[in-house]
Structure 1
Amino acid sequence: MKKAYLNWSSGKDAAFSLYKLQQQDDLEIVKLFTAVNTDVNRISMHGVRLELLDAQAKSIGLPLQLAEFSGNVSMETYSKVMETETKKLKAEGIDFACFGDIFLEDLKEYRDQQLSKIGLSGVYPLWKKVTKKLVEEFIELGFKAVVVCTNAEYLDETFCGRIIDHQFLKDLPNNVDPCGENGEFHSFVFDGPIFSETIKFEIGEKVYRTYKRVDDGEDNCFTDEDINWDTGFWYCDLMPS
């Protein structure tokens, strides 16, 4: 069977991708791979504590490999670190990298370009699926996820800490994708068919943080026209219990 690793964000798209991949008989997910912010010891972008990430990996039953970054990293530095870490995975006999991306063409193109340098191939089990149907199936299968981060341009702090259920979907503004595929929100999955036990946590405080683009003077595959450099985000802290 072919070996693969899954880019694990701790959120619903990654969890649902793992579920879908485990239904196949031609690809074996042997490791979870997660980018973390070393300034605060949390998952990059999602802001989830590493203790909860470890609890997820233990419940899923897969080893975890981390790619470590500072809090405000340039695209050039990001690409170099990812290349170093994915070379380690390739050296372990892994030939495929799996992602939970759904419809962002430029992001998929960037991933595939970077993977080709290492000799890896990208696998996208959710690609081009209808996002509303995806999240509804996710809920019906018994997955449970809590929103841990919202892009303040689209969703205010009241959405942070909410469980992703049918009522949550009804409450989303019309300009927000049901899966948050444009970065409108991020989540933490704490229960579902891929877990041997529920991940226990308590809801903590909500904080607002701003970021700015980092430019180290190096060229990268994106231009200002390609990326909307959002700067304001609401985070809901989850505390292990």
Structure 2
Amino acid sequence: MLAWSGGKDATLALHRLIEAGDPPVELYTTGSRETDRTSMHGVRWRLIRDQADALGFDLRRVDIPTDADNDTYEATIRDLLDDYAERGVTEVAYADLYLEDIRDYRERLLASTPLAGRWPLWGEPTNALAREFIDLGYRATVVCVTDDLGPDFLGRTYDHSLLDDLPDGVDPCGENGEFHTFVHDGPHFQHALDIAHGDTVTRTLDDTTHHYLDLT
């Protein structure tokens, strides 16, 4: 299975798995029942479902309460991993790029299960990964930014022009949380998603200001 955010990194990881002849049996995405949106990117659940349908993959929704503490989150993910192990799944693929603490955390959760982790993009230069994603023909829109990047980037197409405009210190893949994207077309899409830009919202989470674009 593949941990799925709907963004560019997850899409590139999926592309790599498909091209290697080893596609996942299912995608899973964490979200909030209260908001009906994904956890990190704030994308409407319906769009994530439409995205998975366009890619031809089953999608599992994992609801985590908006105010859940870490113990609740880990219990939910462990139940998910146990269920997949019982179904005969052997690996979980993640689109993490280089943050060791995130990988260590995932490996700790996997340690109590028979599942192994797989990182199709791990350790590769993020500038090269960003340009590979674009050159493959995928299309993505920036849907969330922090003040490290700024709200002027909301709604922009993730393309070479955007990469050239990124301020110094902002990772080209946003691996430090500077921005998130939603992918709506590309090589393995059976059809492009018809999206429109809605309102923008600003929220402070864990002392960091996030600006969101509501895609419809």
Mapped contact 1:169–1:178 kept (Cα < 8 A): yes
Matched, 1:157 2:151: yes
Corresponding position: 1:174 with 2:168: yes
Instruction: Choose which of 55, 62, 65 in structure 1 pairs with 2:57.
Output: 62
TM-superposition CA deviations, 1:94-133 (whole Å, max 9, x none): 0100010010001101101101212110000000000000
Is residue 210 of structure 2 the alignment partner of residue 233 of structure 1?
Answer: yes
Instruction: State the match for 2:195 in structure 1.
Output: 201
Displacement, 1:45? 1.1
Equivalent pair of 1:36/1:66 in contact (CA under 8 Å): yes
Aligned equivalents of 1:28 and 1:238: distance in 2? 28
Question: Which of 85, 88, 109 pairs up with 1:90?
Answer: 85
Match 2:5 to one of 9, 17, 22:
9
The Cα shift of 1:231 comes to: 2.6
1:44-87 Cα offsets, whole Å, 9 max, x none, are 11010011011111111111111111223222211111111121
Which residue does the alignment assign to 2:122?
127
Looking at structure 2, the residues matched to 45 and 110 of structure 1 have their Cα atoms a distance apart, in angstroms, of: 17
CA distance in 2, matches of 1:160, 1:36: 21
Asked if structure 1 preserves the Cα contact closer than 8 Å seen for 2:14 and 2:23, the reply is no
Give the structure-1-normalised TM-score.
Answer: 0.87
Instruction: Report the CA distance between 1:136 and its aligned residue.
Output: 0.4
The ranges of structure 1 where at least 4 consecutive aligned residues each deviate by more than 4 angstroms after the TM superposition are none
Q: Tell me by how many angstroms 1:28 deviates.
A: 3.5
Aligned residue in 1 for 2:105? 110
The residue that corresponds to 1:21 in the other structure is 17
> Is 1:40 the equivalent of 2:35?
yes
The residue that corresponds to 1:53 in the other structure is 48
- Seen in structure 2, the aligned counterparts of structure 1 residues 86 and 47 have a Cα distance that, compared at 3 Å, is same
Alignment equivalent of 2:182, drawn from 188, 199, 220:
188
The residue aligned with 1:220 is none
Q: Which runs of 5+ in 1 are unaligned?
A: 213-229
Instruction: Map Cα deviations across residues 212-239 of structure 1 (whole Å, 9 max, x no partner).
Output: 4xxxxxxxxxxxxxxxxx4310000000
Q: Distance in 1 between matches of 2:203 and 2:65?
A: 15
**80-89 or 121-130: which moved more?**
80-89
Structure 2 residue ranges without an equivalent (≥5) = none
Cα distance between partner residues in 1 of 2:172 and 2:130: 7
In structure 1, the residue corresponding to 2:106 is in which secondary structure?
helix
